[in-house]
Structure 1
Amino acid sequence: MRAFLLLTLSLSVLLSVQAQKPHRCKAPPYLEGKLLVVSPEGKTAVFERFSYDAVEQRIRVIASGKEGTQDVFVDFLMLFREGFYYDINYHNKTCVKVPFSGDFIPIEIPINAQHTAQFVIGSLSAPAQGLLVNNWVGSLPELKANYSLSFTEFGCIPVSAYYNVENTGHVLSSYFDVVVGLENPDVFIPPSFCTSAKLLEKNKDEMADFFTALL
């Protein structure tokens, strides 16, 4: 009994020490879920569903929202290695390939990120009423952006991401209903009517980075 109590006490102390020193975790390479993005100038887009593949650097977003007073619905298959995305319209059976030069930004904690706080979203009053998360801040010089990221302590699941991007503004993303893995990997295969889509010529008005492509 004494040995059991000592072991229990030791584990409790170890867990307490680890909780006080959050580590830079690695997020899962495959994710699906929903995403709320608040973009500059107060525009808001609700991404009904996103699929994320960090290995092949692919993102699929099916989004609905408003741009000013106009309702917007988009279906984008973003292929960062290829340098273009498909703008898919199932209603009209049309598909456009649009070039962009955005770097793929993985859903992860950058190596130069600084831990600022550990907190609970929800309540500490009873078990299962709160979510333990860690907040990290830093900058991405290549994108001229500062960031504040929140990930769960267990599982390293993204909760929120705030970016202040030069020449773009503030971009706030909130994740919810996130699932680890891909239920249907075929989501990254463009529909058959995209086979004949031609790549548009790139011009100065085309999407130039990750954030403008996503927005």
Structure 2
Amino acid sequence: MSVTLLLFVFMCWTASTHADHHQPCRSSNMTGVLSVLGLQNEIKALAPYTYDSTNKKLRFRTDASNQWNATLDLDLLVFFEEGILYKIDSKNQSCVKKSLQSRVNPLAIPANAVFHGTMVFGSASIEGEGIKINIWAIPTPDLKGNSYMSVSMGCIPFSLMHLTDNSMIIFSNINVELEVKDPDLLAVPSFCQGLPVEETPEGTVYGFMTEFQ
């Protein structure tokens, strides 16, 4: 078990002892960078994203330079509300259209999330040296394991961690700006329009997180 995992489990356990009645907030429109780490702290992906919080649309595209030695090369357009994900290959002008059985979203707290508590990263006693966050348990009935999300007091998601008995994925949200800078990124490319939905193999559950497992 990695140090990151141990720290986060301890954090969630500690926070749960102070839980009270909170309602999930709604995140803002965002442009930023998502990093995705695996169980051994390997960087699975590091990419800029654009997120429309009203319509729950996400575009996630890895950078061709890949200076962090990330293992995955992805261009994903996700419509969480509609339950649709497009895997885009702009070079070959092709797409795969998939159905989302799991709609876990690394940038949004679902309405049925369970509040665990409030914690401070850094120092709570020195002004400007601590970041206060809320910890939420994210129900994932269609997936094995448990998910936890940390969110700023202003409702900016910091991280989403999904844990199973033998795997871990951590989405971290960095360099955030509260706007959609390029709305065209959230439109379905012309070469992807009109595609049939690819069938999901029986007995499996597909979601955004599946692309990083």
For 2:42 and 2:99, locate their aligned partners in 1 and report how far apart those are by CA, in whole Å.
22
Query: 1:108 maps to what in 2?
Result: 109
For 1:80 and 1:109, locate their aligned partners in 2 and report how far apart those are by CA, in whole Å.
11
The one-letter code of the counterpart of 1:27 is R
Asked if the contact 2:36/2:45 (under 8 Å) is kept, the reply is: yes
Change (3 A) 1:190 1:101: closer
The one-letter code of the counterpart of 2:149 is L
Larger Rg, first or second structure (1 or 2): 1
Change (3 A) 1:87 1:183: same
Whether 1:35 aligns to 2:34 is yes
Corresponding residue pairs, total:
189
For 1:32 and 1:59, locate their aligned partners in 2 and report how far apart those are by CA, in whole Å.
10
Query: 2:184 maps to what in 1?
Result: 186
Asked if the contact 1:113/1:138 (under 8 Å) is kept, the reply is: yes
Whether 1:78 aligns to 2:78 is yes
Shift of 1:79: 2.6
Shift of 1:158: 0.9
**Unmatched 5+ stretches in structure 2:** 1-18
For 2:27 and 2:187, locate their aligned partners in 1 and report how far apart those are by CA, in whole Å.
21
Q: 3-state SS of the aligned residue for 1:56? A: coil
**Unmatched 5+ stretches in structure 1:** 1-19
Asked if the contact 1:27/1:158 (under 8 Å) is kept, the reply is: no
Q: 3-state SS of the aligned residue for 1:182? A: coil
Of Structure 1 and Structure 2, the greater helix share is in 1
Percent of counterpart pairs with the same letter? Answer: 22
Of Structure 1 and Structure 2, the greater strand share is in 1
TM-score, normalisation: structure 2:
0.69
Query: 1:122 maps to what in 2?
Result: 122
The one-letter code of the counterpart of 2:180 is L
Query: 1:143 maps to what in 2?
Result: 143
- What is the RMSD of the two structures over their aligned residues, measured on CA atoms? 3.5
For 1:126 and 1:50, locate their aligned partners in 2 and report how far apart those are by CA, in whole Å.
33
Asked if the contact 1:138/1:147 (under 8 Å) is kept, the reply is: yes
**1:54-94 deviations in Å (ceiling 9; x for gaps):** 4333211012569xx9853221112345544322233x242
Deviates more, 1:128-137 or 1:106-115: 106-115
The one-letter code of the counterpart of 1:150 is S
For 1:150 and 1:35, locate their aligned partners in 2 and report how far apart those are by CA, in whole Å.
14
